[in-house]
Chains A and B, each alone.
Chain A
Amino acid sequence: MVSFIRRPSMSTLNVSNISDGTDTVATGYVVNGSAKAWGNLNGSGTPAFRDSFNYSSVVDNGTGDFTHNFTSNMANANYSLTATGTSSYAFWSVADNTGNTLAGSIKIRAYTSNVALADSQLIFSTIHGDLA
């Protein structure tokens, strides 16, 4: 006989603290400290995400220049982005063309040590901040 287990529907657990029996932390530490988006992008050949969370798409703007679009936007542009990748790349710019971050997307550029835009096989990004 074959039986099926129904996956429980999503629900909300409203708690102030989380404990493992020894240590207790306020739920706010977990919510605020979680990465709101992350991605592992192959920026060479035909660029595509290897894996990611909370990105809807990536736009290949040109050599070494990629816009990451959020699915669930950030509340404002005052979030924090960490971007890195292949070790031979010396500098990563994280802004739009006007030098600002945007609530709905982030632009990541990969530069060589000669400050020239270049494609990279590995482009990692992590976003922390408040969601809309």
Chain B
Amino acid sequence: MIAHLWDRLAEAKSRLAPVQSKYRVLFENPADPDAPAAVLVPDPNWMAAALAGGVLPPIDTYQRDRTVADGQPKEHPYAEPIGPMTEEEAVEYLVMKDIDPQVWRDYEGNRCIMKIVPVELIPTDRSFRNAWKINQEMEMAA
């Protein structure tokens, strides 16, 4: 019998050291073009569980659960856990789990609305935080 995801998370937190990811995900909401760019920050305990494996459910269970009404049984808590991921795979998993599909799957415009970047590229000065947009200039190789 597979333990509930919440129980697996509790057990994992008791034995795994948290891992601060070196990546952030910048994205813009195509449905709200006036909103500033958002920044997704992976949780350190979640990242530790993703790297260790045997804790998190397959990403497609979350995607199927999006269509299940509140109060109805969900698939992801009791799904068979997946194995270890690399940090890059874990960030891709988070994109599909925590960012709306209209950003990473359905957008058909020609503007770049999502970038996975090293944390060093995120400004620490938040004076103009609500004016942040994703830089559209592409660096061309010589």
> Which residues does A use to contact B, with CB under 8 Å?
7, 10, 12, 36, 44-49, 51-63, 69, 71-73, 75-77, 103, 105, 119, 131-132
4 nearest CB pairs, A to B: A76-B70, A132-B74, A72-B6, A60-B39
Known: A10-B7, A132-B77. A119 touches B41 (CB 8 A): no
Q: How far is the CB of B131 from chain A (nearest CB, A)?
A: 9
Is the CB–CB distance between A62 and B129 below 8 Å? yes
Q: How far is the CB of A21 from chain B (nearest CB, A)?
A: 25
Besides A55-B43, A69-B97, A75-B70, 20 other A-B contacts (C-beta < 8 A): A10-B7, A10-B11, A12-B3, A46-B122, A54-B9, A57-B40, A58-B43, A60-B40, A61-B35, A61-B36, A62-B129, A71-B5, A71-B43, A72-B6, A73-B76, A76-B70, A76-B71, A77-B70, A132-B73, A132-B77
Range class of the B interface residue count: 35 or more
> Which residues does B use to contact A, with CB under 8 Å?
1, 3-11, 13, 15, 18, 20, 35-36, 38-46, 56, 65, 70-71, 73-74, 76-77, 94, 97-99, 119, 122, 124, 126, 129-130, 132
